[in-house]
A and B are shown apart, each in its own frame.
Chain A
């Protein structure tokens, strides 16, 4: 490391001497490392992050390295350490939710000068100051996708294949359902929990089972929607995507989808770090969140089967998200056992912490969290 630094510095000096100016030379580069739990081309969670990395890699003052398929064990600690020690990374994005505790926290204490940004919003006071969290309210995009799904469906039976009944997933299912029922009050969303983030066989079985029950629009919250989207296309029904854009997998039936837009978030971080800001001195906030308005997520371009009516309804909802007037969780809202979970007159805005403890499925969802 020492020698390569020396060479790098020498090269920089040489370049600066040659041109007598040097605003963006090698030494100014922000060195970043990205770590994913699965493959980079999974059409899902990891691809969304890798696309974000590709975004910052275009900046000539950023050098970024990636490692994919790193499990949530000591393997990720070693990956982070190698990026710091061997690549000189000063900014790390270990993206899987399960990397945070204990792995990121452990490395953050060991390398107090390196900044760790984690996707998931888990930072709180008392944790190392060189760790920050970011997350997006992608359920806003799900709400819009729900509108499109319900208006495109003939049977008004929608299907949702989800990994685990945890708050983040339940919120997506509920927002999707509320979106759907805002335009088609009789629409139902049949949910199946597979039990884990990546179970392609079970996801395909669930997709087929839902289609056999008359569902004609499928969506999901699993790490890679690929199997579900292709199954829907092969069986001749419609689907809405998640995480990344899957329209190439289902050119006919892909209606729209809820996509992450991490390149915007990563560019912001890169800019801040480049201009000398840091988590440690408080000039970069420890918690960053945003939805459609802030550009953290987006809605996939509409597919060929989306009617003009659906387009205009979806665009109207999107516009309300953009100007900040939309509130998804506005009482009265009942869960699917008939219990009132948000009373009349109460509303929870997107940033409300209450929504992050969600443990119910709203009326119109067929299924239960206790599976």
Chain B
């Protein structure tokens, strides 16, 4: 529960942690997001009603498809894994006050780094290969976003625009490489890179059909949480995000810290690319570019740029996406319905942030 309270307090990036946590604040931080999701469900229900489906049957389908049992929940987790890592690519730099949306590009670069190592070093023992691929993916993604940070810090280039454009550059590099230098001639109609040997692919978590990318994501979110909320490095990061000039005057190494955080964010997205290549696709090709990066931006905002928030919201989004199939097959709604639902949930949650502190019942009584 305390984590949810922390979540709530990070809404205004005050540099200091509140010492005492009032139970009313705690209740507020539960009631508002839950209320937001309920409100979104009501609006979505009206939408489904207009589209000719019974809202209650739709709710039942969503629950059944996303969280109903272990079989369904694995579907949710499979979808959440890459989004989690991509979200950190926006969430981490955001704590510095930088709005980085280059997640998709960092994922692609991470995937390319993975293939560079994995497809060339085919004789490496399994764990050595996986470690090398993960490091290569993280390095490529990390450097990609670090470049965005450097352009901002030393040249004043707007990071939103530069990171967005870097996405297109990364995708162009991917297309160039899989059609040219890295092209596997046997992939005629779907140009792909040379594959990673089967022996070195990233497997599933035992007893499930969820690949290890999920563990990477959960660990990365936990590390982010500890690093940003509970270390002096994190304190410095939050201070830079809170007031850059004050941080400079206080003598913080703004450049070094900012570049490090950008690198970590990019490395997370790069790791998502590594998992996509090493656990799902087996090679690099256009299937890497499916919008995980953009989903990550949304998750980072809704999860309030907080490690644990990102973790929870990714699973929520994974569940929403997992329900798309059943809405089509059982409720005969169109394929866009799940996007409408996603949009409504996230919009209402984002709106609900403006409600914190607005309800008198949640306010601390003057002592």
Residues of A within 8 A of B (CB): 39-40, 65-75, 77-79, 81-83, 85-87, 97-98, 101-102, 120, 164, 166-168, 195-196, 356-357
| Structural contact, A82 and B191, CB atoms closer than 8 A | no
Instruction: Using A97-B190, A166-B189, A357-B188 as known contacts, say yes or no to A73 and B290 having CB atoms under 8 A apart.
Output: yes
B residues less than 8 Å from A73 (CB atoms): 276, 280-281, 287, 290
B329 contact from A66, A75, A98, Cβ within 8 A = A66
State the CA gap A102–B190 with chains docked (Å): 12
State the CA gap A66–B291 with chains docked (Å): 22
Chain B interface residue count, Cβ-Cβ cutoff 8 angstroms:
31
| Structural contact, B290 and A72, CB atoms closer than 8 A | yes
B322 within 8 A of partner (CB)? yes
Binary contact track B260-300/A, C-beta < 8 Å → 1, others 0: 00000000000000001000111001110011000000000
State the CA gap A329–B282 with chains docked (Å): 36
State the CA gap A40–B332 with chains docked (Å): 13
A83 to B, closest residue via Cβ: B329
B residues less than 8 Å from A67 (CB atoms): 324-325, 328-329, 335
* Chain A contact residues: helix, strand, loop or mixed: helix
* A286 CB, min distance to chain B CBs, angstroms: 18
State the CA gap A195–B290 with chains docked (Å): 15
B188 contact from A71, A83, A167, Cβ within 8 A = A167
Most chain A CB within 10 A, of B175, B211, B280, is at B280
| Structural contact, A65 and B329, CB atoms closer than 8 A | yes
B75 contact from A40, A78, A101, Cβ within 8 A = A78
* A226 CB, min distance to chain B CBs, angstroms: 16
* A352 CB, min distance to chain B CBs, angstroms: 15
| Structural contact, B287 and A78, CB atoms closer than 8 A | no
B287 to A, closest residue via Cβ: A72
Most chain A CB within 10 A, of B71, B188, B290, B291, is at B188
| Structural contact, A75 and B321, CB atoms closer than 8 A | yes
State the CA gap A164–B291 with chains docked (Å): 20
* A22 CB, min distance to chain B CBs, angstroms: 27
| Structural contact, B75 and A82, CB atoms closer than 8 A | yes
| Structural contact, A102 and B175, CB atoms closer than 8 A | no
A-B contacts, CB under 8 A, total: 80
B residues less than 8 Å from A40 (CB atoms): 334-335
* A67 CB, min distance to chain B CBs, angstroms: 5
Binary contact track B62-79/A, C-beta < 8 Å → 1, others 0: 000100000100010011
* B94 CB, min distance to chain A CBs, angstroms: 26
B81 to A, closest residue via Cβ: A74
B residues less than 8 Å from A164 (CB atoms): 191
A residues less than 8 Å from B325 (CB atoms): 67, 70, 78-79, 82
B213 to A, closest residue via Cβ: A74
Binary contact track B184-221/A, C-beta < 8 Å → 1, others 0: 00001111000000000000000001010000000000
Q: 10 nearest interchain CB pairs? A: A68-B335, A69-B335, A72-B287, A71-B290, A65-B329, A166-B189, A74-B78, A78-B75, A67-B325, A168-B189
State the CA gap A151–B336 with chains docked (Å): 41
State the CA gap A196–B325 with chains docked (Å): 25
A residues less than 8 Å from B122 (CB atoms): none
B282 to A, closest residue via Cβ: A102
Most chain B CB within 10 A, of A72, A83, A357, is at A72
* Residue contacts A-B, CB under 8 angstroms, 24 given: A39-B334, A39-B335, A65-B328, A67-B324, A68-B328, A69-B324, A69-B336, A70-B325, A73-B290, A74-B79, A74-B211, A78-B325, A82-B65, A82-B325, A86-B329, A97-B189, A98-B285, A101-B282, A102-B282, A166-B188, A166-B190, A167-B188, A167-B189, A357-B188
| Structural contact, B78 and A78, CB atoms closer than 8 A | yes
State the CA gap A69–B340 with chains docked (Å): 14
